[in-house]
């Protein structure tokens, strides 16, 4: 009988389990680009960028360094801290909007670089909400006992998709990667609640319009920078972002049955300091309960929360047992939030 139960468990056909973020890791490229460097490229100023976005510096990957390289570096750290060998992984999820190429997926490239010979690999595109989407997907594979060890990564080389003549975007976006190992939890650590959503009708607000099946590459698309990030109205995105992040976070708190007082730290997507501050104000969060590192890294899309989570963890700001909240919005438009007992 015992044997039968174990067999069933093995095949993932019974039982549910709690799932935790076992470890984190992050990697940012060495090259630091300051606002003063940008002043030399486009008509902008350190004063404008600082007051409108909160960004002071960002990291830019080397020419020969790609999204999978950044992902690989972050993944190695997370795996080492989880004391897992890449062969222990069952699943690799790479959240990115700047994949190495259309296919093979960046997940496949990372799987090969790591030597994760027993893992399935998937790329997922939910833009800046990507890390939260990946966390939820990994969680849902693991709670059914389908898989045991998952590696989720948010990795971006957005500089490869930047029009360096467009001051409305090139001051915002940057490169970096964060990774987390997700495993079953025997203690109280678990994903308590989540909420995900999209509104595709705002898809044209933030996009890379060319290079896909709808607008294959031509000389004209290249000349018009249509393979680069286009932002229709930063202002419109700003307003939607604040509203959606508030709404999704409130929904997740309600699902988890907690109030803001139970939360030790909120890690919002790092897109704009003013967006983060309005969220904090709405949620009535004291400043020290909202994690901010946008001044150092700019907007690294799917990597943003993954890097911030790793920093908050390694700096000792969050400890095991703390309840933390994640909330994000991004191109799509997508949004998502999660409440975690870390």
Binding region for ligand UT7 (CB under 6 A)? 44, 48, 52-53, 128, 167-168, 171, 206, 234-235, 237-238, 241, 271-272, 299, 330
Written as one string, the DSSP assignment of 155-197 is EEEGGGG--TT-HHHHTTB-EEEEEEEEEEESSS-EEEEEEEE
**Nearer residue to ligand UT7 within complex by CB, 113 or 274:** 274
Look at the block and give the residue holding tokens 């069952």. 90
Q: Is residue 309 within 8 Å of 267, Cβ to Cβ? A: yes
Q: Is residue 258 within 8 Å of 323, Cβ to Cβ? A: yes
Look at the block and give the residue holding tokens 């007082």. 261
Chain centre distance of CA 228: 20
Q: Which residue is nearest to ligand UT7 (CB)?
A: 234
Torsion, Cα of 314, 182, 122, 146 (10° steps): 180
Instruction: State in angstroms the smallest separation of the CB of 52 from ligand UT7.
Output: 4
**Nearer residue to ligand UT7 within complex by CB, 76 or 232:** 232
**Nearer residue to ligand UT7 within complex by CB, 147 or 161:** 161
Look at residues 153, 124, 140, 254 and name the one whose alpha carbon lies nearest to residue 190: 140
Is-catalytic flag, 170?
A: no
Is-catalytic flag, 85?
A: no
**Nearer residue to ligand UT7 within complex by CB, 33 or 84:** 33
Catalytic residue among 35, 228, 299, 313: 299
Instruction: State in angstroms the smallest separation of the CB of 170 from ligand UT7.
Output: 8
Largest CA-CA distance found in the chain, in angstroms, rounded: 73
**Nearer residue to ligand UT7 within complex by CB, 269 or 313:** 269
Q: How far apart are the first and last CA of the chain?
A: 35
Question: What's the rounded Cα separation, in Å, for the pair 42 and 116?
Answer: 43
Is-catalytic flag, 299?
A: yes
**Cβ-Cβ contacts under 8 Å for 40 (sequence gap 6 or more):** none
Catalytic residue among 35, 269, 272, 313: 269
Instruction: State in angstroms the smallest separation of the CB of 4 from ligand UT7.
Output: 50
Look at residues 275, 282, 280 and name the one whose alpha carbon lies nearest to residue 290: 280
Instruction: State in angstroms the smallest separation of the CB of 152 from ligand UT7.
Output: 19
Instruction: State in angstroms the smallest separation of the CB of 305 from ligand UT7.
Output: 11
Beta bridge partners of 151: 92, 181
Instruction: State in angstroms the smallest separation of the CB of 112 from ligand UT7.
Output: 30
Catalytic residue among 128, 139, 145, 227: 128
Question: What's the rounded Cα separation, in Å, for the pair 157 and 98?
Answer: 6
Sign of CA dihedral 333, 91, 67, 51: positive
Instruction: State in angstroms the smallest separation of the CB of 73 from ligand UT7.
Output: 23
**Nearer residue to ligand UT7 within complex by CB, 189 or 278:** 278
Question: What's the rounded Cα separation, in Å, for the pair 59 and 34?
Answer: 9
Enumerate the active-site residues. Answer: 128, 269, 299
């Amino acid at each position: 009988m015992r044997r039968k139960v174990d067999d069933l468990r093995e095949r993932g056909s019974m039982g549910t389990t709690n799932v935790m973020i076992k470890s984190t890791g992050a990697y940012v490229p060495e090259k630091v680009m300051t606002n003063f460097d940008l002043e030399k490229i486009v008509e902008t100023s350190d004063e404008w960028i600082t007051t409108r976005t909160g960004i002071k510096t960002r990291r830019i990957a080397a020419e020969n360094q790609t999204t999978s390289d950044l992902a690989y570096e972050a993944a190695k750290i997370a795996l080492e801290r989880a004391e897992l060998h890449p062969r222990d992984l069952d699943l690799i999820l790479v959240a990115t909007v700047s994949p190495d190429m259309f296919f093979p997926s960046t997940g496949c490239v990372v799987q090969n670089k790591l030597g994760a010979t027993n893992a399935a690999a998937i790329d997922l595109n939910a833009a800046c909400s990507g890390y939260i989407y990946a966390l939820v997907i990994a969680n849902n594979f693991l709670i059914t006992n389908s898989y045991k060890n998952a590696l989720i990564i948010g990795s971006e080389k957005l500089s490869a998709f930047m029009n360096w003549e467009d001051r409305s975007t090139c001051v915002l976006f940057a490169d970096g990667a964060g990774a987390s190992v997700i495993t079953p939890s025997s203690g109280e650590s678990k994903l308590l609640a989540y909420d995900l959503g999209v509104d595709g009708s705002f898809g044209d607000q933030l996009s890379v319009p060319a290079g896909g099946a709808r607008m294959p590459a031509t000389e004209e698309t290249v000349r018009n920078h249509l393979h680069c990030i286009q932002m229709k109205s930063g202002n419109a995105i700003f307003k939607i972002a604040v509203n959606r992040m508030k709404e999704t976070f409130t929904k997740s708190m309600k699902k988890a049955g907690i109030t803001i007082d139970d939360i030790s730290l909120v890690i919002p997507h790092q897109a704009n300091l003013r967006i983060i501050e309005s969220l904090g104000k709405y949620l009535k969060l004291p400043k020290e309960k909202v994690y901010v590192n946008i001044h150092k890294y700019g907007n690294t899309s799917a990597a943003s929360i993954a890097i911030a989570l790793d920093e908050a963890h390694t700096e000792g700001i969050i400890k095991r047992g703390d309840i933390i909240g994640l909330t994000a919005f991004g191109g799509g438009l997508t949004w998502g939030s999660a409440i975690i007992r870390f």
